[in-house]
Amino acid sequence: MTDQEISWKRVLVIAGSVVAYYMGAGYATGQEMLQYFAAYGLISLVSCVIYFIFFWYLNDNFMVAGHQGHFENGMQQVCRHFCGKYVGSFYDWFATIFCYLCFVVMCSGGGAVLWQQYGLPTWVGVLLIAVTGVATVVFGLGKMVDVIGRMGPVLILLCIAGAVLGIVFADTGISRGSELAPTLDIMKAAPTWWQAIISDIGFAIMWMVAFFAGIGRQEKNFKNARYGALLGIFMVSLAFGIVSLAEIANIEMIRNSQVPLLLIIDNVSPLAATVYSVVVFLGVYTTACPLLWTGVNRMAEEKTQKYRWLTVILGVAGFFIAVALPFNRLVNIVYVINGYVGFIFVVFVVARNVRDYRARKAAEADTYEAV
């Protein structure tokens, strides 16, 4: 195979790793969709389209930067590439801290899943995510992408299947649910849908800076990375829309649930809910690992003693924080506040693209005049 040929097997693995990365506690439980999308009614479908466009544009930029710059320290170098030395340094550390806080959210989500479905103490699920996350991160990102990437397609298909069942057997219905959603006392990400999507895009890209830059750097055939990322982002956005519709259709039942999608499926079939709870837990795990890796990798080189000890220390700290705060409150605090700061990063990415475009045009004009 030449460098120019596309390996569809590799494309699917990369797409799967993107999906698995995002199939975390907020996503697979339905809590993120509830607070950012379903709570505002059918306008959430417009939000899903906006999300897809921005998410693809931004993450493609991160992959290109990682591929062309061969950035070893993805977070730091990509942030400085787009924002300059000083603002870039701020976002470097901001993203690092934020990703670690999201790891804490994942731990809390694991606890919420086992508590809601099996009645286990919250700390049990938190401990399982923290321990398995630490163990996986010690192996490094390369193995992580290969291992969890193969789980991604299965996770997203089961997530969509559960949402479709929720729509078919809904208690309230999409039309009635869309009318009720804005009037109900639901924990929301923002007062309006457009503020919510700004925050959602902002926090999501802070997850993805180092992850996509790493994929761009590691993939020898960049076409594989580009097609894989596009497919993965499309699958994530599609699932957003379908799960949001399922939550709208069952809005009265799930409005105060910690794990709304699991409750929807349990209403259809308790057996299916038991199976899905395992899926959710795996989704939480697949997201927790790269988030913890992002924080550790910023402060220590992989495979070193410092890297291993730092992973353990941050894992233990995450356990205690996650046990102390409820899952839906952590989502609302960590995701929302950081989302607005993260969205400013989008402005810097666009500005860098504009500067690069003008520089290319100026160079082309100079070449033409010289000829």
DSSP alpha helix (H) spans, the chain: 8-22, 25-28, 31-36, 44-69, 74-83, 85-118, 122-137, 141-149, 152-168, 174-180, 193-218, 222-249, 251-254, 260-268, 270-299, 305-324, 327-330, 336-370
Query: Domains in the chain: how many in total?
Result: 1
Please tell me the distance from the alpha carbon of residue 134 to that of residue 128, in angstroms, as a whole number.
Answer: 10
CA neighbor of 334 nearest in space, from 211, 210, 203: 203
CA neighbor of 205 nearest in space, from 343, 312, 72, 323: 343
The verdict on residue 244 lying in a domain is yes
**Residue of 299 and 128 predicted with greater confidence:** 128
The verdict on residue 18 lying in a domain is yes
Residue 366 banded pLDDT, cuts 50, 70, 90: low
Please tell me the distance from the alpha carbon of residue 359 to that of residue 356, in angstroms, as a whole number.
Answer: 5
The verdict on residue 3 lying in a domain is no
Return all residues near 139 (Cβ < 8 A) that are at least 6 apart: none
Please check the confidence at residue 371 and state whether its pLDDT lies above 70. no
The verdict on residue 2 lying in a domain is no
For residue 120, the 8-state DSSP code is -
Distances (CA, A) of 273 to 126, 261, 265: 20, 9, 5
Using alpha carbons only, give the angle 268, 285, 121 rounded to the nearest 5 degrees: 70
Lowest mean pLDDT among 69-83, 185-199, 254-268, 339-353: 69-83
**Residue of 308 and 20 predicted with greater confidence:** 308
For residue 43, the 8-state DSSP code is G
**pLDDT tens-digit profile of 20-52?**
777 765 677 888 899 999 999 999 999 999 999
CA neighbor of 303 nearest in space, from 160, 151, 139, 185: 139
Quote the domain boundaries for residue 325.
8-370
Please check the confidence at residue 170 and state whether its pLDDT lies above 80. yes
| 327, burial (CB in 10 Å: exposed 0-12, middle 13-18, buried 19+) | buried
| 337, burial (CB in 10 Å: exposed 0-12, middle 13-18, buried 19+) | middle
The single residue listed with the structure tokens 């996986």 is: 136
The verdict on residue 197 lying in a domain is yes
Assign 146 to helix, strand or coil. Answer: helix
**pLDDT tens-digit profile of 81-111?**
899 989 999 988 888 888 899 899 999 999 9
pLDDT reported for residue 2: 46
**pLDDT tens-digit profile of 175-213?**
999 999 988 888 898 899 999 999 999 988 887 888 888
Residue type, 331: V
Please tell me the distance from the alpha carbon of residue 38 to that of residue 16, in angstroms, as a whole number.
Answer: 25
Return all residues near 328 (Cβ < 8 A) that are at least 6 apart: 31, 35, 112, 187, 258
Please check the confidence at residue 5 and state whether its pLDDT lies above 50. yes
| 150, burial (CB in 10 Å: exposed 0-12, middle 13-18, buried 19+) | middle
The single residue listed with the structure tokens 């949402």 is: 163
- The two structure tokens encoding residue 185: 């006392």
pTM of the model: 0.83
The verdict on residue 1 lying in a domain is no
Q: What is the CATH number of the domain that holds 323?
A: 1.20.1740.10
The verdict on residue 108 lying in a domain is yes
Do residues 55 and 234 make contact, with C-beta atoms less than 8 angstroms apart?
no
Q: At what angle do helices 152-168 and 260-268 cross, to 10 degrees?
A: 60
The verdict on residue 252 lying in a domain is yes
Report, in angstroms and rounded to the nearest whole number, the Rg of the chain calculated over CA atoms.
Answer: 20
